[in-house]
A and B are shown apart, each in its own frame.
Chain A
Amino acid sequence: MTAVAAPPLVEMRDINVAFGGVHAVRDATIDLHAGEVVGLVGGNGAGKSTLMRVLSGARPADSGEILLNGKVVSIANPRDAKALNIETIYQTLALADNVDCPGNVFLGRELATSLGSLDDSSMEAETRKVMGRLNPNFKRFKMPVRSLSGGQRQAVAIARAVYFNARVLIMDEPTAALGPAETAQVRDLVRQLKDEGIGIFLISHDIHDVYELSDRVSIMYQGRIVDTVDKNDVTTDEIVSMIILGKRPEEATQKELAQLELGA
């Protein structure tokens, strides 16, 4: 708590996003340090993905500011975010199904020859390197990603995010579509990236996933951040109660907690 000197890698202050009349994110403030994993949890519609879409440039905020290493930055679109080395693995993966694996990894940032034409063989060679790290058995580099399995598609989406020297990585439900073995692979990857000094925002429905990987956990409820807690200070049960009640444990009444026990 004494290390005040270095500003956080990312700081989002008083972020507000509204869709028509629906206030999806209200006055949310959250931060992230280098080499840290911050888990973002909450029920459906709590605003986790929307808050992260602000950071990745997919949906700019209506108000609030974003600081990177203590400096205010403007992120109006995905290009801005990528220019600041903020990479995102979307829940939908955001892959062009009709394009092959190298085409997707380099989408929007294609390698080109000196004459400006696509350098497909260099892109394939680079993709082989990065995919070799994530999924050594992968060989279908020429196939449209439509024909790949869920795990392989996930690997393509991750490859795209980690290839370009991310400083901040947003992972939105990275294991939702995966089997146990592939989930373990993604967990290893998260630890590895964290050791490399990358800051990671991890959105997940799976409390255990978040609890195991995160250093801190931010709980969202109806667009607000209920609390941000150090993982070692709370139990998973306390996190669950915050997700459901939208209150810190000390604020909740005995009656509410009792009902929660009954429900569980």
Chain B
Amino acid sequence: MTNVADAAPVSGQAEPPARSSIRGLIAQTEIDLRLFGMLVALAAILLTFHILSGGKLFQANNMTTMAVQAANVAIIATGMVLIIVSRNIDLSVGSVVGFIAMTYALLMTDWMPALGMGVDFPFRWVIALAIGVLLGAFIGGVQGFIIAYIGVPSFIVTLGGLLSIRGAVWYLSNGAAVSGLDPTFQLIGGGATGSIGGTLTWVLAIVGGIAIVVLLMNSRRQRRRHGFALRPMWAEVLLGILGILAVVGVAAFANSNFWPPGLAERYATENGITPPPGGLKIPTGFPWPIILLIGVTLVMTWLATRRRFGRYVYAYGGNPDAAELAGINTRWTILKTYVLMGVLCSIAAAIAAARLNGSTLDVGTSYELYVIAAAVVGGTSFAGGIGTIPGAVLGAFVMQSLAYGLSFMGVNSPGQNVVAGIVLIVAVGFDTLNRRRGGGS
């Protein structure tokens, strides 16, 4: 017992992970423990509500609905991570979503027809989407410019944005709700028809599986080229198998969700198909909002970890002076985080508008709170420099699974908010204690 100090690694160098302990084995796979823990938490929440609901919750249609509800917040949260990591905040996201959603609705109902782009005009939905994305980038750029180049605190600038942009939504539509979007645009919102279908879902799963194997092999080749320590072979194989199983499992689960019988019947009669006994079973596969979320998560993770931009965002968050002295154009970097956020808001706005087949005055209200909560539950620290994109996406799913599970149990929305607020504080509390004990990453 007296030699505890002697047993510690002498020079403070990293000791090779002990093979015997479970922790050591996990360390050899280099799995991110925080993300793994959040996956476990998500599974535990779903399982608890599944049992409480008498085995009704964990079904493909419920989970698809839940995922689509989480998609909007998750997409914006990927951008909020970079903004919080670089020691800023964006309170305006909800209002920006509302403003752009209303713009989409008005474009397709009033403005484009007025310019001769009626319902039959080709690629109307693409044009509308492009205008929305540019508008998002512009709003983000203006706010980012005031924050980065003029030096007004981001809290103030985006609080002003929250108020004034929400007010501007009213002026866009003169206070009216607008409905009637382009039918193709509506697919972005998901639902049975707004999904990619069974075949494409399988294709995607296969592509995903191959990508996992290629990435693992590529990383191993890079390490060997430079003579770095390699992951043990069993860990590589285990990671590959787990990754492929996860992708295939999720795809199979998504494909166990079928078109509603009424819709399938109508489809059958329209196409002259004789429905088999028990009705036509058409798998929905992944809904479009989930496809968008997967795409956004991949692109944002790539930006955050593989590009100079991401490196600068994290370095600035860790030590703004160091980033400045290293010659990084920190203002331009901060401006870009807001432009990116605006673009993400325009994607979320498209999903929100498409789901409603239009827009109302309060689309996106309170999004800023859910988004910040998702990022923070996902491990993003307000001290700056710490946070991951996949973490924030998982954080959004944890918060949404709680809300969905509670509503499934008949708890009303104020009750859901009470729970969500407490979970937010408890999750960050645990994280703070954990970091303090771990003394680092």
Contacts and interface: CB of A to CB of B under 8 A. Distances in A.
Interface of A: 56, 58, 77-79, 82, 88, 90, 92-99, 103-104, 107-110, 112, 116-118, 121-122, 124-125, 137-140, 143-144, 146-147, 149, 152
A122 to B, nearest CB: 7
Determine the interface band of chain B, counting residues with CB < 8 A from chain A.
Answer: 35 or more
A140 B18 CA distance: 17
B327 interface: yes
Interface in B214-235: 222-223, 225-228
Nearest to B325: A94
Interface of B: 11-14, 222-223, 225-228, 302, 305-308, 311-312, 314-319, 321-329, 385-386, 439-441
B314 A98 contact: yes
6 contacts: A78-B324, A92-B321, A95-B322, A97-B319, A121-B228, A124-B226
B222 A121 contact: yes
Contacts of A138: 13
A108 B302 CA distance: 18
Nearest to B221: A121
B314 A96 contact: yes
B314 A109 contact: no
B308 A98 contact: no
Contacts of B439: 147
A125 B13 contact: no
B327 A78 contact: yes
A88 B325 contact: yes
A103 B225 contact: no
B441 to A, nearest CB: 5
Contact of B322 (A56, A77, A107, A146): A107
Contacts of B317: 98
B88 to A, nearest CB: 16
Given A94-B325, A95-B319, A107-B311, 19 more contacts: A77-B327, A79-B329, A82-B327, A90-B325, A96-B323, A107-B323, A107-B326, A108-B327, A112-B308, A116-B307, A117-B306, A118-B311, A122-B226, A124-B226, A125-B227, A125-B228, A138-B13, A140-B13, A140-B14
Contacts of B225: 121
A58 B314 CA distance: 21
Contacts of A79: 327, 329
A104 to B, nearest CB: 8
Given A82-B327, A108-B327, A144-B440, A97 B226 contact: no
A191 B324 CA distance: 29
A78 B329 CA distance: 10
Nearest to B12: A149
A94 B327 contact: no
Contacts of B311: 99, 103, 107, 110, 118
Contact of B307 (A78, A96, A97, A118): A118
Given A110-B308, A121-B223, A122-B226, A96 B14 contact: no
Contacts of B14: 139-140, 143
